[in-house]
């Protein structure tokens, strides 16, 4: 299963690769990273249909926000599951994300066990 992680902080790639190394090693998970909303859309548009089945995106990013990205993904690729993450667990972002079609909303620091459970539901 191909997962796209979108975050403007590049150190999340190392963190995700460490936390999911077993799943990646066993070929249960393929991790792809984008560091902006536009880069994420470019990755999704490379293949028709996209091989990505799950997008995990930060909300607060420069340029295109995660909520704007969520709207674009849901409009163009309605079959892709999207979950959002924010450093701020405020109800406004939570409500906007869920109303826009996000499956789940996580706050930083990421609870990787909850995220792992979320991904296993899709496998």
Residue ranges per structural domain of the chain:
2-122
| pLDDT tier at 59, thresholds 50, 70, 90 | very high
Q: Using DSSP bridges, classify how beta strands 104-107 and 81-86 pair: parallel, antiparallel or unpaired.
A: parallel
Percentage of the chain beyond pLDDT 90 is 85
3-state SS assignment for residue 58: strand
pLDDT surpasses 90 at 89: no
Peptide bond into 33 cis (omega under 30): no
Overall fold of domain 2-122: Rossmann fold (3.40.50)
pTM listed for this prediction: 0.94
> What is the average pLDDT across 48-69?
95
């Amino acid at each position: 299963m191909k997962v796209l992680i979108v975050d403007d902080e590049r150190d999340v790639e190392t963190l995700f690769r460490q936390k999911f190394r077993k799943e990646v090693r066993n070929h249960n998970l393929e991790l792809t990273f984008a560091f902006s909303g536009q880069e994420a859309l470019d990755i999704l548009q490379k293949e028709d249909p996209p091989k990505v089945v799950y997008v995990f995106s930060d909300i607060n990013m420069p340029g295109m926000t995660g909520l704007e990205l969520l709207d674009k993904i849901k409009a163009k690729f309605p079959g892709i599951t999207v979950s959002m993450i924010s450093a701020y667990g405020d109800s406004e972002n939570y409500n906007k994300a869920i109303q826009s079609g996000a499956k789940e909303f996580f706050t930083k620091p990421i609870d990787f066990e909850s995220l792992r459970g979320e991904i296993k539901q899709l496998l």
